[in-house]
Structure 1
Amino acid sequence: MAQTRKASRYVVPFAVAGVAAATIGLVPALAASGDPDLPEITAQQLIEKIAASDTQTLSGTFKVSTDLGLPSVAGLADSFAGAGGQSADGAPSTDPQELLTRLVSGTHTLKVAADGPDRQKLTILDGSDEYSLIHNGDDVWAYDSKSNQVFHEKGAGSDRPAEEKGEKDGLPGTPKEFADEVLKEAGDTTSITVGGAATVAGRDAYQLVIKPKQSGSTVESIKIAVDAKTGTPLKFTLASVDGGKPVLDAGFTKVDFGKPAASTFDFKAPKGAKVTEGTGEGPAEHGKSPEDVEKDLEKEFGGGLGGLFGGAVPGADGKGEGMNVIGEGWTTIATFDTGAKAPKTDEAPKEVQGFLDSLGDEVNGKFGSGTVFKTKIVNALMTDDGKVYVGAVTKQALVDAANAAK
């Protein structure tokens, strides 16, 4: 069952949710009247401040809003995952990977708490329902109040790779070295500036503004609000050149850097809840090893998609060629040859046809003809002869790349 996959695989980004949410915090930080009057600071100094932040404890509430410019995927997801987010056997799922996909669209309120690397809690509130992911020492719990189901795994936090335990071998040793490296990597393709100040969750913050210098990228800007005192990022917004609502717009509405009470991370399964125990050794579905599960995924998402799209997935039919990367920086495009003619959407299952039609625009050029499948950030061109070009670039940039390849 999906619930028995090794929880730590999904907990890593969320098991440090308090620190991670603060470190890649979410929502635009736009200057307005009443913004704090902070000392001037350069972009390099602000990046150094972020790198020097040693925030280990916090609790807070933040909202996440996502708008990829996609049609509703609810019905499509149900057609593959089972109605209502159920697992393969028809039971409601507590799988973190499945339930956290609800953050892909809409607006959601989350509560987060962290006390160092071994205790974190993330709760997604959805009306009167809630989904909680709790890491407390060697115990990992996932609880879905709607289905009253619990997933528990013992020992999930004891075998984390070194990089997940906070060891930073190979990374710049000082905040200044880190800032120098960031600015060096940005090079001529990126503008990094300080865009004023803001008040975020009652705290004074600087705004770091990152913009592509290149034309053709779908990214208009990335803005990060950084706590002026601690250097902890509090808000983040990703805006598209298409305008409208930000692609990702979320941020702390309340934050406290004090140490949460130990009881915050305690969990006891509610009365009557169904509890599924993980093995602590990896996916336990039918006794499969991680290698077996990986092969199943390759089969499912290679052969499965190959069947859906008529073999138009690299490696799905053994005829595709390897992937190449063209361009640089914000206008990088990945391209590969599927070795098969592009599928027609009317050949796809009925529940998928409308979704694909709403995403696709027919295009023509020196390369011939094809379809651009679009979102507000990532676009993909599939030519009628089976070549694919994909990147965080505009539709025209994909067409230009396909034309240049002829």
Structure 2
Amino acid sequence: MAPYESDDNTNEDLRTGRRKAARYVVPVAVLGVAAATIGLVPAFAGSGDPDLPEVTAQRLIEKIAASDVQQLSGTVKISTDLGLPNLGGLESSLGGGMGGGDDSGSSADPSSKLMELASGTHTVRVAADGEGKQKLSLLDKASEYSVIHNGDEVWAYDSASNEAYHMKDASAGSAEKGGKGGKDKSEDMPATPKELADEALKAADDTTSVTVDGTAQVAGRDAYKLLIKPKGSGSTVGAISIAVDAKTGLPLKFTLTPASGGAAVVDAGFTKVDFSQPAASTFEFSPPKGTKVTEGDELTAQDKGEARPKGGEDLGKELEGLNVIGEGWSSIAQFDTGGEGMPSEDSGAGDAGRFLDSLGDQVTGKFGSGTVFSTRLVNALITDDGKVYAGAVTKDALVKAANAAE
């Protein structure tokens, strides 16, 4: 079945779309979000915005879930500003142990290379042809880093170091056999508006307001804007805006703004997009002559399932002793490290203690004392007796949770 073309589909089309949603990342449960949570006011185009048919937030979420875009190519611009401190010459002061010259790994390993997307502004070229062929390229001024998934082969190549990383995808299934390739290491870090939108929609429960906020044009395509906001106070998340392609239902742009205001924490959107089939050569790769090739572990179905936690319950199984305080956007993860907290200057840790003290804020309360390490989105309180409280919440919310736990 083709993706939703407009909002005058038949009831049978809608039922079919809901059944198809089970095949994709957005949980079917999202389609049943309570009416009190979903804004029922349809979108209206503002001055200069595309004039599109009215749509409700519930209908727009259904369009995202039913989207069946299998083939595309395009360019995505990703800007991330978590407000992390500038570590300056820390690497060299530690003797260069974090440099690329470490023989224990490969500079082309996706699990570390794609973490670069967590800060700064990057241009990423993406392409897909079904579930067995994907390519993601991180572009720099003078180099390119690519991850290519083609059937049961996964390659990553770093042109700057002329290194490649190779894995076998043991659980890949061909389109002809109806199989479904799973996740590869390139998907550990969400790098497209759709992946980011999928994660955000998992939080659409009764602690969330979901409305339609007009229309826009992204990468030359008409889109609706879905607005997601926490209902309560205490969260560092201000709002999430998702631009949804009016024709295909594919998220084209994702913007997360903090409750504190200012620039977006994450802003990822297509600047160019094409839904025609990419050339077969796009997904072909052979290491250039002289390339250092590192063979990675075989990527099995179990690995794919564990590549990224699906939610709070799965994460809780991974972290022994994890306790979740509160719910929704203001929830706080709490666990005990069993240690003595972070080293500080007062504890006699010397230069290392002074450096860590400079990164955090010292706080006290009924729980005792500790240090809050802050970004513009996620904050963490580490108490002097080794307890950790972390979440997308304010410093005051962390201190309150620590006091209540005593």
Q: How many residue pairs end up in the alignment?
A: 325
Following the alignment from structure 1 to structure 2, what is the Cα–Cα distance between the partners of residues 276 and 135?
A: 16
SS in 2 for 1:85: coil
1:83-122 → structure 2 map (5 Å cutoff): 83-89=98-104, 93-122=107-136
Following the alignment from structure 1 to structure 2, what is the Cα–Cα distance between the partners of residues 33 and 73?
A: 44
Structure-1 residue corresponding to 2:48: 34
1:2-401 → structure 2 map (5 Å cutoff): 33-73=47-87, 82-89=97-104, 93-156=107-170, 158=172, 165=182, 186-278=204-296, 280=298, 322-346=321-345, 350=351, 354=355, 356-401=356-401
Choose 320-329 or 252-261, whichever is displaced more.
Answer: 320-329
- Code of the residue aligned with 1:273 in structure 2: it is T
- Code of the residue aligned with 1:68 in structure 2: it is L
Instruction: Give the Å deviation of 1:353.
Output: 5.2
- Code of the residue aligned with 1:384 in structure 2: it is D
Residues 121, 265 of structure 1: 8 Å contact kept: yes
- Code of the residue aligned with 2:61 in structure 1: it is I
Choose 40-49 or 78-87, whichever is displaced more.
Answer: 78-87
Instruction: Give the Å deviation of 1:69.
Output: 0.8
RCO higher in structure (CA 8 A, sep ≥6): 1
Gaps of 5+ in 2: 1-23, 26-44, 184-199, 307-318
Residues 70, 359 of structure 1: 8 Å contact kept: no
Following the alignment from structure 1 to structure 2, what is the Cα–Cα distance between the partners of residues 359 and 199?
A: 40
1:216–1:159: structure 2 CA closer, same or farther, 3 Å change rule? same
Deviations 1:53-76 (A, max 9, x none): 100000000111111110135755
SS in 2 for 1:188: coil
Following the alignment from structure 1 to structure 2, what is the Cα–Cα distance between the partners of residues 278 and 334?
A: 32
Structure-1 residue corresponding to 2:21: none
Instruction: Give the Å deviation of 1:101.
Output: 1.3
Residues 82, 88 of structure 1: 8 Å contact kept: no
Following the alignment from structure 2 to structure 1, what is the Cα–Cα distance between the partners of residues 141 and 296?
A: 29
Deviations 1:34-70 (A, max 9, x none): 2111111100000011111100000000111111110
Following the alignment from structure 2 to structure 1, what is the Cα–Cα distance between the partners of residues 351 and 370?
A: 21
Following the alignment from structure 2 to structure 1, what is the Cα–Cα distance between the partners of residues 380 and 224?
A: 35
Instruction: Give the Å deviation of 1:329.
Output: 1.1
Following the alignment from structure 1 to structure 2, what is the Cα–Cα distance between the partners of residues 140 and 396?
A: 45
SS in 2 for 1:402: helix
Residues 334, 388 of structure 2: 8 Å contact kept: yes
- TM-score, scaled to structure 2: 0.72
Following the alignment from structure 1 to structure 2, what is the Cα–Cα distance between the partners of residues 194 and 254?
A: 24
Instruction: Give the Å deviation of 1:365.
Output: 2.2
Sequence identity of aligned pairs in percent? 63
SS in 2 for 1:133: strand
1:155–1:324: structure 2 CA closer, same or farther, 3 Å change rule? closer
Following the alignment from structure 1 to structure 2, what is the Cα–Cα distance between the partners of residues 399 and 265?
A: 50
Deviations 1:328-355 (A, max 9, x none): 111111223334432333466857853x
1:275–1:365: structure 2 CA closer, same or farther, 3 Å change rule? closer
Following the alignment from structure 1 to structure 2, what is the Cα–Cα distance between the partners of residues 344 and 274?
A: 40
Instruction: Give the Å deviation of 1:32.
Output: 7.4
Higher helix share: 1
Instruction: Give the Å deviation of 1:405.
Output: 2.5
Instruction: Give the Å deviation of 1:87.
Output: 3.3
Instruction: Give the Å deviation of 1:370.
Output: 1.8
Task: Quote the RMSD (CA, aligned, Å).
Answer: 3.2
SS in 2 for 1:404: helix
1:164–1:391: structure 2 CA closer, same or farther, 3 Å change rule? farther
Following the alignment from structure 1 to structure 2, what is the Cα–Cα distance between the partners of residues 83 and 114?
A: 33
1:86–1:43: structure 2 CA closer, same or farther, 3 Å change rule? farther
Residues 342, 382 of structure 2: 8 Å contact kept: no
Residues 360, 373 of structure 2: 8 Å contact kept: yes
Following the alignment from structure 1 to structure 2, what is the Cα–Cα distance between the partners of residues 81 and 56?
A: 43
Gaps of 5+ in 1: 1-18, 21-30, 167-181, 283-289, 295-319
Deviations 1:218-247 (A, max 9, x none): 100111100000000011011111222211
Instruction: Give the Å deviation of 1:281.
Output: 6.7
